[in-house]
Amino acid sequence: MVFSPLHWIPSAIAAILAISLVFKKTRKHHRNLARFMILAAFVGLVGHLWEGNIHLFLLDLHAFHSWTGLAALLLSLGLFAQREFFRKRGFGAHCRVGRMTAALASLSLITGLLILSGLAPQIAPAPATATSYLGQEPASSKLPEIEASEYQGVRLTPLEDQGNNAIEGTQRIDLDRSRLEVTGLVEEELSMSYEELLELPAYSEAVRMPCVEGWGFDAKWTGFRVVDLMDLAGLEPEAAYVVFHSADGYSTGVNLDYLRNENIIMAYGINDVTLPPERGFPFQLVAKDKYGYKWAKWIVGIEVTNEAQRGYWESRGYSDSANVGEFPFEL
């Protein structure tokens, strides 16, 4: 759901070099810069694929960014091959394609910066700062298992159209062997089954999941409030921060006050059906008003601490606040 520095740093360098090549007339400097540009572009592409962030088929700014970047890379490879193997042919065409490559690199660079800054437009209209709508309602943990298309006047995004990111692909959780562990600064550590957690008071809420890449979707989420689980365990006086651990090794955390003040839920249902594996079964954190990297999926452990802990993306330079509308990186 976010750009890895392994992608955006070398890709930005490659884009800047592609633009600068238009103005470089010295053949030796031109060839050396071209080689370095292609190397940087390939490293950026590997970083993009490594984190599973590439989207080519969604109608959003991220897809436009990916297509322009790939097109610039392919044209660069063609130009490089032409200069290396057919040095005396098609010089005029070479320059025209070079300018086209620079233009595509410029577009990719600009859209990438917009995505990184958090200023990229969403797929569908969304509130400027808030991602929740009319608030929570008491619900039942027994879901209809018929996908809803609307809730509280909000048009819900169908499951098949919802974007998704994961560091290790979709996780398949065996409920017979998996339990939710609550540890850390609690009076009593918990190890609860899925069925036991369904017995907690249930609530539903329409909340938009906003990815930092610029896309998002609207859904009806059903689950239990995290603070109800915390109250069940009992909190030590110094408890201040809650870390969510996922089955794939992912982790992220939020302040305890945020969980309590916003009545944040851990969802086991989406759009009136049981959370599918690709959406985070058995539990996904509904971190409303936060970017998607706070929306931990496949949650199997909760740890209460006295201070903020850097999770998977936070340790890679992303902001721990993750507030929608704010710059998503630590300055």
Tell me the pLDDT tens digit for each residue of 262-278: 999 999 999 999 999 99
Bridge partners of residue 284, in order along the sequence = 267
**CA 15/CA 110 separation, integer angstroms:** 10
List the structure tokens of 189.
């550590």
- Domain 137-316 listed as CATH 3.40.50.300: no
Q: Are 34 and 7 in contact (CB under 8 A)?
A: no
pLDDT at 134: 72
pLDDT tens-digit map of 159-204: 999 988 899 999 999 998 999 999 999 999 999 999 999 999 999 9
pLDDT at 129: 43
List the structure tokens of 17.
């070099």
Domain boundaries, the chain: 5-117, 137-316
**Three-class SS state of 192:** strand
**CA 265/CA 254 separation, integer angstroms:** 13
Contacts 24+ apart (CB under 8 A), 70-77: 70/45, 71/104, 72/15, 72/18, 72/41, 72/101, 72/104, 72/105, 72/108, 73/14, 73/38, 73/41, 73/42, 73/45, 75/100, 75/101, 75/104, 76/18, 76/34, 76/37, 76/38, 76/41, 76/101, 77/38
The mean of the pLDDT values for the chain is: 84
Within 10 Å of residue 302's Cβ, how many Cβ atoms? Answer: 25
Range with lowest mean pLDDT among 19-33, 91-105, 219-233, 311-325: 19-33
Binning pLDDT at 50, 70 and 90, where does residue 126 land?
Answer: very low
pLDDT at 74: 82
- In the chain, pLDDT over 90 holds for what percent of residues? 52
Greater model confidence, 152 or 103: 152
Greater model confidence, 48 or 112: 112
pTM of the shown model? 0.69
Binning pLDDT at 50, 70 and 90, where does residue 119 land?
Answer: low
Range with lowest mean pLDDT among 48-52, 133-137, 256-260: 48-52
Range with lowest mean pLDDT among 36-40, 94-98, 142-146, 312-316: 94-98
For the cut 60, the answer to whether the pLDDT of residue 90 exceeds it is no
pLDDT at 94: 59
List the structure tokens of 15.
């884009």
Greater model confidence, 331 or 235: 235
DSSP strands (E only) in the chain: 137-139, 150-151, 154-155, 180-184, 190-192, 202-210, 216-225, 241-246, 251-255, 265-270, 273-274, 284-285, 299-305
Closest CA to 92 of 102, 82, 106, 84: 82
Binning pLDDT at 50, 70 and 90, where does residue 122 land?
Answer: very low
Binning pLDDT at 50, 70 and 90, where does residue 118 land?
Answer: low
- What single-letter amino acid sits at 191? S
Within 10 Å of residue 26's Cβ, how many Cβ atoms? Answer: 9
